[in-house]
Structure 1
Amino acid sequence: MATISSLGVGSNLDLSSLLTQLQTAESQPLVALEAKAKSYTSKLSAYGTLQSALGTLQSAAKKLSDPALFQSVTGTPTVSGILSASSADPTSSGNYSIVVSQLAQAQSAIAAGQANTTTAIGSGKVTIDFGTITGGTLDAATGKYSGAGFTADGTRAAKSITIDPTNNTLGGIRDAINAAGAGVTASIVNDGSGTPYRLVLNSTQTGEASSMRISVDGDAALQNLLNNDPAGTQNLQQTIAAQNAKLNVNGIAITSGSNTVKEAIQGTTLTLVQTGTTGLSMKANTTSVTSAINDFVKAYNSLQSTATSLTSYDADTKTGAALVGDSTLRNLQTRIRQALTTPQSGGTNDMKVLTEIGVSFQKDGTLAVDSTKLSKALETNLEGVSKLFASATGSTSGYGKQIDALVDDLTKTGGSLKVATDGVTSTIKELDEQYDAMQARVDATVDRYRKQFNQLDVLINSMSNTMTYLTQQFDAMNASSGK
């Protein structure tokens, strides 16, 4: 069948414009579907914004639900640089006088010098254990003991290291010791002498009980290099003696194998930096609690602001936001406010409501903080404030824990916000499917119109051609008769 390359050319009719108008008319249901889908997409986006605001509130609540937040104690020394202190036990609060007379240190010892690091020394089994050097005297010049004893540390097992032809050089011995994880690190220094390369052994732990004892079962050269018993043969030169930290806290003498001293003050860790005398003020860290409570109030108010924005109505344009009249949002707000206005259970003198710490609802539904009242509550009854927000594992009391659980309930599978979100998502999917089906029908209808218009164009064009031909023939016949 003949076709027309440009619709309307054959018939001299504006069929193209007519087809466009028909297509626009047929597409009206698509416009309605698009508008409907757009409204649901806006609603889905609004639910996403709401869930984000809920997540911020939950994070703030979760922080307040942790009892550890209220147990933090800050230590402030009167003299800087001597020690630092941290505690998670409020009972450690108080003022202390501390004298640090000695820092804990790890033992270090060096072996006799070698001409190079690559010559084989000897093979054997090197055994390292640790303990305390007792009695005797230390020659500071030689770094060796006389008349001393050695008491092994029963809590640490001895470690054996095999030295064979694959690692019996000074460098190989160093690497074998480091790879063994024996509680000793090895390095090599160059002292600039004729036999400059010296193996240095350092205990990885501080304290008197971390003095090294090394025995060698093997070649004499390896024994002469490493055998070292403070109570017997000593082939190493001690350069740093193992020692405990010594301090005095409020007149009580304390020793520690480490410069990290735990429980000298109950629940407190002291980190010693240098010797000296300092006072130490241990005080509950109410600053972090204040910040957490203010963050919670900000998160709640942000949620309220988000809800207001999502339910606003513009009287001038007569248009509403995505969640105007939405029951899910309204119920969500109601449940959270009810949770925050329901008194906590507790004893007669326990805090039970937010207003007792200066947090109260305003006329517009937001929360406000009376900082003076909050500070006083934290100073006079930190434990009561803790119980208002947090509780032990297994308990459901505390506003922090309850809001955390409530948000979980709202957003989990089967929760009201999750159900509403899933419902909107499902509706959008259905509208997409309807749109695709409708689009296919519109396309088919318009294609049918186009074919019919093309046939009309061809037909009229053919008739026009026939009329022209007949006119020419009649004119010719008339002309012939006139002659």
Structure 2
Amino acid sequence: MASVASLGVGSNLDLSGLLTSLTTAESQPLVMLQKQQISYTAKLSAYGTLQNALSSFQSAASKLADATLFQGVKVASSATDVLTASASATGVAGSYSIEVTQLAQSQSLAAVGVMDPKAVIGKGTVTLDFGSISGGTLDPVSGTYSGAGFSPDASRAAQSIVIDDSNNSLEGLRDAINGNAAMGVTASIVNDGGTSPYRLVLSSKQTGEASSMRIAVTGDASLQTLLNHDPSAAQALQQTAAARNAALKVNGIAVTSKSNTVAEAVQGVTMTLARTGASTLTVNRDAGSVESAVSSFVTAYNSLQTTAGQLSRYDTEKHTGAALVGDSTLRTIQTRIRAALNTPQVGELKVLSKVGVSFQKDGTLALDAAKLKTAFADNRSAVAELFAGGGGSTGVGKQVSALVDTFTSASGMLNAATTGVKTTLKSLDNQYAATETRVQATVARYRTQFTELDMLVSRMTSTASYLTQQFTNMSSNK
């Protein structure tokens, strides 16, 4: 059977063009279905865009729903090389003069030197505990005390290690100490360049006066001679750094700390000391974070409005509409959010305009930062209640966040609308497939009929030509 391209050759008729026209006409339902598919696909994409805008708005609202935002405290140090600081919600606004006179320090002890760090030093049990050294005199040359007392730190239990054939060298002793984290000491070997250069150095992991070391050894005399150390009695080790507390003055009041992290010397403030010197701490309520959060909320709402406008815009010149023009789901979401923002709250500041957030003629929100700053300075708790709730009110932040959740959750109206569009698209796909099959069958039937017609006309033409020729011959023979 002839192909479509050869249709009409035998009959000299434009059957191919006619078949093309018929195919186009039969395919019109497919074109209409495609237009519907494009429209619903655009609507599905638009719902996704709306979902993202709502999520951003909800995120901004959730920040305002957090009461800790309004309790924030900001602290600044005038000399960060002396100390830095952070503050908690309990910080009290004010200016504090800080003078650091001494940094906290950990104790360091050094043993006498040996010639070979791998040589045997004896076996036994080494027991170490911590405490405070009181009274007495420290010889700056030998690094030992005379006439001093030692008070153990009851909060820290003594720790022991066993020195045996597996670790009875200076290196073995070092590794045994470092292998027992509970001892609270770091051991190292220092080469001082002398005739017996290898010296064991012990450093407390904690700073403060109560972290001075006392070491008792049982076992070989050589091990005892190397390590026995009691600040109130015999001392085999040389103190190269004393255990010290940090010392500072806060507004002239003396303060001590066992570490260089000093908490609550100023209420709600933790200071980290870096060196001796003076600094002024300024503690203020963190209005900046609140202003930033409210500004982000306003921006997110306006962005949502812009997105909604773009998705529902109608072009009067081109007479075309965006994907969600006239969409009831979008219209309901906009109406309910605006209503929530206009709903008076229970607290002292009942409406957003009291803190500088107000609607404009075009439906967007605007923020008067100066008004917000004044409201926060005058009545921080009322601003917190307006946004985060309290005193019988859930607050704007929590209300808006909960409202948006009813739109975007799995059971929300936006998900329901999206599910409806997906169902419609699936139905359109099925309709398209069925219609396409029907159109293809119809066109195939036309093609068969046209081919048969072409062949019939061709045969008839051929017969007519033959008869004409015969009649002509007959006339010539008369």
TM-score (norm. length: structure 2):
0.87
Q: Give the structure 2 partner of residue 158 of structure 1.
A: 158
Q: Give the structure 2 partner of residue 37 of structure 1.
A: 37
Selected match of 2:355 from 354, 357, 361:
357
Cα deviation per residue 1:15-53 (whole Å; 9 max; x = unaligned)?
554444443333322221211111111111111111111
Which amino acid in 2 is paired with 1:67?
A: A
User: 1: CA distance between counterparts of 2:446 and 2:223?
Assistant: 103
Task: For residue 131 of structure 1, give the secondary structure of its aligned residue in structure 2.
Answer: strand
Cα deviation per residue 1:244-285 (whole Å; 9 max; x = unaligned)?
111222232221111111111222212222222333221112
User: 1: CA distance between counterparts of 2:435 and 2:359?
Assistant: 52
Report deviation, 1:312: 1.0
User: 2: CA distance between counterparts of 1:119 and 1:325?
Assistant: 91
Distance 1:401 1:15, change over 3 A: same
Cα deviation per residue 1:49-70 (whole Å; 9 max; x = unaligned)?
1111112212222222222222
Contact 2:314 2:325 in 1 (8 A): yes
Contact 1:39 1:322 in 2 (8 A): yes
Contact 2:129 2:213 in 1 (8 A): yes
User: 1: CA distance between counterparts of 2:161 and 2:104?
Assistant: 28
Contact 1:96 1:279 in 2 (8 A): yes
Q: Give the structure 2 partner of residue 137 of structure 1.
A: 137
Q: Give the structure 2 partner of residue 66 of structure 1.
A: 66
Cα deviation per residue 1:417-443 (whole Å; 9 max; x = unaligned)?
222122222322332333333334434
1:288-303 matched pairs, under 5 angstroms: 288-303=289-304
User: 2: CA distance between counterparts of 1:14 and 1:157?
Assistant: 107
User: 1: CA distance between counterparts of 2:96 and 2:19?
Assistant: 94
Q: Which sections of structure 2, spanning at least 5 residues, go unmatched? A: none
Task: For residue 34 of structure 1, give the secondary structure of its aligned residue in structure 2.
Answer: helix
Is 1:427 the equivalent of 2:428?
Answer: no
Task: For residue 95 of structure 1, give the secondary structure of its aligned residue in structure 2.
Answer: strand
Bigger mean CA deviation after superposition, 32-41 or 233-242 = 233-242
Q: Give the structure 2 partner of residue 8 of structure 1.
A: 7
Is 1:284 the equivalent of 2:282?
Answer: no
Distance 1:420 1:212, change over 3 A: farther
User: 2: CA distance between counterparts of 1:217 and 1:453?
Assistant: 116
User: 1: CA distance between counterparts of 2:23 and 2:270?
Assistant: 80
Q: Give the structure 2 partner of residue 408 of structure 1.
A: 405
Bigger mean CA deviation after superposition, 3-12 or 381-390 = 3-12
Which amino acid in 2 is paired with 1:298?
A: T
User: 2: CA distance between counterparts of 1:387 and 1:174?
Assistant: 60
Distance 1:278 1:422, change over 3 A: same
User: 1: CA distance between counterparts of 2:228 and 2:7?
Assistant: 110
User: 2: CA distance between counterparts of 1:434 and 1:119?
Assistant: 92
Report deviation, 1:140: 2.3
Cα deviation per residue 1:353-380 (whole Å; 9 max; x = unaligned)?
1111121111111111222222211222
Report deviation, 1:180: 2.7
User: 1: CA distance between counterparts of 2:394 and 2:292?
Assistant: 21
Paired residues in the alignment total 475
Report deviation, 1:153: 2.3
User: 1: CA distance between counterparts of 2:454 and 2:117?
Assistant: 101
User: 1: CA distance between counterparts of 2:423 and 2:202?
Assistant: 70
Distance 1:18 1:234, change over 3 A: farther
User: 1: CA distance between counterparts of 2:456 and 2:161?
Assistant: 104
Calculate the aligned-residue CA RMSD, in Å: 3.4
User: 2: CA distance between counterparts of 1:418 and 1:343?
Assistant: 29
Distance 1:270 1:16, change over 3 A: same
Contact 1:68 1:88 in 2 (8 A): no
Distance 1:96 1:43, change over 3 A: same
Contact 2:41 2:425 in 1 (8 A): yes
Which amino acid in 2 is paired with 1:413?
A: A
User: 2: CA distance between counterparts of 1:135 and 1:221?
Assistant: 30
Selected match of 1:442 from 403, 421, 439:
439
Distance 1:422 1:272, change over 3 A: same
Distance 1:367 1:214, change over 3 A: same
Task: For residue 76 of structure 2, give the secondary structure of its aligned residue in structure 1.
Answer: strand
Report deviation, 1:96: 2.0
Q: Which sections of structure 1, spanning at least 5 residues, go unmatched? A: none
User: 2: CA distance between counterparts of 1:85 and 1:22?
Assistant: 83
Distance 1:299 1:167, change over 3 A: farther
User: 1: CA distance between counterparts of 2:322 and 2:428?
Assistant: 21
Q: Give the structure 1 partner of residue 377 of structure 2.
A: 379
User: 1: CA distance between counterparts of 2:91 and 2:3?
Assistant: 97
Give identity over the alignment, percent.
Answer: 57
TM-score (norm. length: structure 1):
0.86
Bigger mean CA deviation after superposition, 359-368 or 125-134 = 125-134
1:8-407 matched pairs, under 5 angstroms: 8=7, 11=10, 16-89=16-89, 92-119=92-119, 121-182=121-182, 183-346=184-347, 350-391=348-389, 397-407=394-404
Cα deviation per residue 1:269-306 (whole Å; 9 max; x = unaligned)?
12222222333221112112111111111111111111
User: 2: CA distance between counterparts of 1:421 and 1:412?
Assistant: 12
Contact 2:4 2:447 in 1 (8 A): no
Contact 1:396 1:402 in 2 (8 A): no
User: 2: CA distance between counterparts of 1:136 and 1:358?
Assistant: 67
User: 2: CA distance between counterparts of 1:134 and 1:369?
Assistant: 63
Distance 1:168 1:50, change over 3 A: farther
Contact 1:4 1:10 in 2 (8 A): no
Distance 1:171 1:27, change over 3 A: farther
Contact 1:213 1:229 in 2 (8 A): yes
